[in-house]
Amino acid sequence: MSHLPIILASTSKYRAQCLEKLNIPFKQASPICAEISKNNETPKTLSLRLSIEKAKSLKNQFPEHLIIGSDQTCSFDDIEIIGKPGNFENAKTQLLKASGKCMHFYTGLCVYDSKNDTFNASVETYTVFFRELSELEIEDYLKQDQPYDCAGSFKAEGLGITLFEKLQGDDPNSLIGLPLIALSKILRQKNQ
């Protein structure tokens, strides 16, 4: 695809697993970026801004590379951002609140060419519709999948799929944290 070496500006094992699907060599590096929202910043705007900042933060470390930055926000109503739960109790609270409702995921993507100081960026939207969930179902699910490091408190690639009524979006990989369809398109354009 591209002739420049590729850096994934993330230490996420989930994003790395997504990128491995493209069968291209890459290295991972931790971005230097404060993941803090600004006043009145929407979840969509936040994910786009952070994906760009993450990619650009590695410019000095990788001056002749394609740097992939990605960030995901999750919300119930485009106002309240839902973070990673961190533990069982927080995850249970998130899933109880999600029962019978939908969550919107915004996955920002930035491919930054550090050699030419140019970038392509976009945001992919994915919506998860939860079925009505009982407290017992939620507890059983959390004990099995332990999605405490996942926004929304589920792993769609695991047992989390059983919690849903339906999924809606263009790229299921964006739900995991890296929109591969959009990324593939950008990388093909870079190779032309």
Is residue 77 predicted with pLDDT exceeding 80?
no
Predicted confidence at residue 92, as pLDDT, reads 97
Is residue 94 predicted with pLDDT exceeding 90?
yes
Predicted confidence at residue 1, as pLDDT, reads 45
Kindly list the distances between the CA atom of residue 114 and the CA atoms of 7, 50, 118, 140, in Å, as whole numbers in the listed order.
11, 17, 7, 46
- Average pLDDT (87-96) is 97
Tell me if 122 sits within 8 A of 182, measured CB to CB. Answer: yes
**What is d(CA 9, CA 79) in angstroms, rounded to the nearest whole number?**
26
**What is d(CA 69, CA 137) in angstroms, rounded to the nearest whole number?**
35
- Average pLDDT (58-65) is 97
Is residue 2 predicted with pLDDT exceeding 60?
no
Structural domains of the chain ordered from first start: 6-191 (3.90.950.10)
Residue 71: both structure tokens together: 């960030």
Q: Mean pLDDT for the chain?
A: 93
Residue predicted with more confidence, 76 or 141: 141
**What is d(CA 179, CA 184) in angstroms, rounded to the nearest whole number?**
9
Give the active site residue among 71, 113, 145, 171.
71
Confidence band of 39 (pLDDT split at 50, 70, 90): confident
Report CA dihedral (36, 41, 111, 7) to the nearest 10 degrees. Answer: 10
Is residue 71 part of the annotated active site? The answer reads yes
DSSP per residue over 30-95, as a string? -------PPTT--HHHHHHHHHHHHHHTTTTTSTTSEEEEEEEEEESSSSSB-----SHHHHHHHH
What percent of the chain has pLDDT above 70? 98
Is residue 95 predicted with pLDDT exceeding 90?
yes
pLDDT, tens digit, 9 for 90 and up, residues 118-149:
999 999 999 999 999 999 999 999 999 999 99
SS3 for 23?
coil
Is residue 91 predicted with pLDDT exceeding 50?
yes
